[in-house]
Amino acid sequence: MRELRVTPIKNGTVIDHIPAGMALKVLKILGIGDNVSSTVTVAMHVPSHAMGWKDIVKVEDRELGVREIDKIALIAPSASVNVIRNFNVAEKRRVSLPERVVGILKCGNPNCITNAREPVEAEFLVKSKSPLRVVCRYCDRELEDIPAHIV
Amino acid sequence: MSSFRGRDVLSIRDFSRADIDTVLKAARKMVPVALGKKVSRSLEGKILGTLFYEPSTRTRLSFESAVSRLGGRALGFSSAEGTSVQKGETLADTIRMVEAYSDGIVLRHPQEGAARLAAGFSEKPVINAGDGAGQHPTQTLLDLYTIWDEKGTIEGQTVALVGDLKYGRTVHSLTYALAELGANLMFVSPPTLEMPREIIEHVKEKGLTFRLAHRLEEAIRDADVLYVTRIQKERFPDPQEYEKVAGSYRVDADLLRDAKRDLIIMHPLPRVTEISPDVDRTKHALYFKQAFNGVPVRMALLDLILGGGS
C-alpha cells in the first residue's frame, strides 16, 4: 500500500495543483498566519503527473468562499479546490480567473483615485491570463508584482 | 458608437475612427460660431458643471467659452480652495451634488482615474478635462483637429513627437489616436525620456511605420507635423544636465531650414524655451491656432452630447 505523506482530513478544504513554490503565497491570500484555530498542512514540492512538481495546502474545518477562490486564481491559476466533508470530497472546484478582479487587489499607483478616500473598490481588467497581466480600470496602469498587491 | 447623446468622454481610446471623424467634422462647422461670426443657441437653458480641482487656463476658459457661445452656462470652481473639498468631501459626493445642479460635468482632477470614478456616480455625462498623469481626451481631439484641418487628412502624415515622451500624457493619448488613424510616427526624445514600451508595442501591433530618434535633426526633413512638448526641469537631478538636454531639443529658425515647406509645428502650451520666438513669425507656427481650436472642438463635443448635434 502506498504511504501518504499528507494524511486525509475529516472536514475542510484541500487546495491541490498549486504551482511548486506558491503554497506560502496561497496561505497569505487566505489570511492564514498565527491566528488560525485549526490545523493547516502544507506540502511543498510534491511529485505530480500533470505538473512535474506541485504544492498542496490543506485547511481543516474551513470551507473556502468563491471570493477566496478567485483570489487564489491570481497566483495559482492551475489550482483545484476540494471541499471535504466527513472524509469525502463533497465539492470539487477549479479556480477560475474572472475577467474583472474587484476588491481583491490594490492599485500600485499611489496617485490612482482608488487609493484616495473614495467609496469604490479597486477594479482590474485581466489583459492576459498566461502570463497574468492586469490593468487598473480607473488609472489604466498595469499592475506589477501582483502577489504583493493582494488586499 | 452611433450616438453621442449623453455619452461620457473619459479616454481617447473609447473613440473609434468613425467617432473621431464625427467630432472633427462637427468642429469645423462650429468655427464661425467660435469666432462670433454666427450665432447658435443649441445649448440654451443648459448648465455645464465645470469642476477644476487644479488650475488650468486654456482648458477651463475654452470650455467656458464653448458653452457660452452655444447659449448655455457654466457653473463651477477653478480650484479646490474654498470649496467643500477642503472640508474633506469625497469626489463621489461632490459629483452627486453637482449632477443635481447641471446637465453635464467637466472635470479636471489631480488624480488618475478621477473621471472614470465620477462617471460611475453620475447619470449625467462626464467629460474628462485631465486626470493627473492620465487622460486628457479633449486635448487629443483638438490636436487631431488641427492636423486634419491643416493637412486635409491624418492617415499617411508623418508626425514627429518631440520632447518628454516618457511622462507627457498629451503625447501618449495622441500616439494612440494617431496609430488608430494610420499616421506614420517618429519619437524624438532624450534616451532617458523615451516613449513607454507598452505604447511602442501598441504602435507595432497596429502595423505602422515608426522611428525612434534622439536628435531633432534626424527627424526634421521627413516630418509633416512637429509636435513639441516641454521637457520638465524636475525630471533631471542635475540642473546642468537639464540645460544641455533641453537646449538640444529647441526648435528655432535655423533648424527649420531643412524642414518641408508645409511642415506644421504644434505645441500643447504653455511653452517655455523649447520653441524659439523667431519661429512664431514663420508659416510653420500653428500652436496659437491650435489653442483656438480647443473652442470649436469642445463646442462640437458639447453640442453632440448635450445639444441638438447628431
Alpha-carbon separation of residue B282 from B110, B261, B264 (angstroms): 36, 11, 10
Domain identity same for B96 and B184: no
On chain A, the residues whose CB falls within 8 A of the CB of B131 are 113
Q: What does the alpha-carbon distance between residue B133 and residue B141 come to, in Å, rounded to a whole number?
A: 17
What is the pLDDT at residue B14?
92
In a domain, B7, yes or no: no
How high is the pLDDT of residue B226? 98
Distance of CA B121 to the CA centre of its chain: 25
A116·B120 Cβ contact <8 A: no
pLDDT of B173-185, one tens digit each?
A: 999 999 999 999 9
Check whether residue B165 and residue B52 sit in a common domain: no
Helix axes B58-69, B17-34, angle to 10 degrees: 70
Does A49 reach chain B within 8 Å, measured CB to CB? no
Class of domain A100-149: mainly beta
Looking at the DSSP bridge assignments, the partners of residue A55 are A18
Query: Is B196 among the domain residues?
Result: yes
- Is residue B175 included in any domain, yes or no? yes
Same domain membership, residue B117 and residue B83: yes
* Catalytically active residues of B, by annotation: 58-59, 87, 108, 136
Amino acid identity of residue B160, one-letter, is A
Taking phi first (over 0 means left), then psi (-120 to 50 degrees means alpha), and beta for anything else, what does residue B74 get? beta
Residues of A within 8 A of B114 (CB-CB) are 113
> CA of A131, closest CA in chain B: separation in Å?
15
Would B285 be classed as within a structural domain? yes
What is the arithmetic mean of pLDDT over A66-72?
A: 81
Chain center to CA of A51: 17
Same-domain status, B279 and B151: yes
B65 and B154 both lie in a single domain: no
Q: How far apart are CA B271 and CA B284, in angstroms?
A: 16
Give a yes or no: residue B6 inside a domain: no
Residues A120, B114: C-beta atoms closer than 8 Å: no
B161 domain-assigned: yes
* DSSP percent split of chain B into helix, strand, coil, nearest 5: 45, 15, 40
**Which CATH architecture does the domain made up of A12-94 adopt?**
2-Layer Sandwich (3.30)
pLDDT of residue A126: 93
Query: Residue ranges per domain, chain A?
Result: 12-94, 100-149
Residue B232 DSSP one-character state: P
Does A140 contact chain B (CB < 8 Å)? yes
CB nearest A114 (choices: B113, B131, B198): B113
Give the residue from B292, B280, B284 showing the smallest Cα distance to B261.
B284
CATH code of the domain in which B22 resides:
3.40.50.1370
- Can you tell me the mean pLDDT for A76-89? 92
Domain count, chain B: 2
Same domain, B160 and B277: yes
Question: Do B123 and B143 belong together in one domain?
Answer: no
Q: Note whether B168 and B244 are same-domain residues.
A: yes
Provide the residue type at B128 as one letter. N
Cα A95 to Cα A73: distance, rounded to the nearest angstrom: 6
Q: What domain range includes position B108?
A: 12-135+293-306
Q: Which residue of A has its CA nearest to B117?
A: A138
H-state helical runs in B152-286 = 169-181, 197-205, 216-220, 239-248
Contacts of B86 in chain A (CB under 8 A): none
Supply the pLDDT for residue A2.
63
For cell 464653448, the residue is B66
Same-domain pairing of B165 and B107: no
Choose, out of A102, A111, A124, A137, the residue to mutate when testing the contact with B (most B CBs < 10 Å).
A111
Query: Which residues of chain B are at the A interface, by a Cβ-Cβ cutoff of 8 Å?
Result: 11, 90-92, 109-114, 116-117, 120, 131-135, 198
Q: Are the C-beta atoms of residues B72 and B46 closer than 8 Å to each other?
A: yes
Is the peptide bond between A131 and the residue preceding it cis, with omega within 30 degrees of 0? yes
Q: In chain A, which residues have their Cβ closer than 8 Å to the Cβ of B87? A: none
Please answer yes or no on whether B117 and A113 come within 8 Å at the CB atom: yes
Same domain, B79 and B122: yes
Of B90, B112, B135, the CB nearest to A112: B112
Question: Tens of pLDDT along A5-25?
Answer: 678 899 999 999 999 999 988
Asked if residue B265 and residue B159 are part of one domain, the reply reads yes
Distance between terminal CA atoms of chain A? Answer: 43
Average of per-residue pLDDT across A78-87? 92
At B1 the pLDDT is 44
For chain B, residues with pLDDT lower than 70 are 1-2, 309-310
Same domain, yes or no: B129 and B179? no
Would you state the cell numbers that stand for residue B129, as one nine-digit string?
478635462
The answer as to whether B1 is a domain residue is no
What ipTM was assigned to the predicted interfaces of this complex? 0.88
Count of alpha carbons within 13 angstroms of residue B307, beta-carbon side? 26
pLDDT at A29: 80
β-bridge mates for residue A47, sequence order: A53
Please provide residue A22's backbone torsions phi and psi, each rounded to the nearest 5 degrees: -100, 0
Residues A34-53, mean pLDDT to the nearest whole number: 90
Mean pLDDT calculated for residue range A39-60: 93
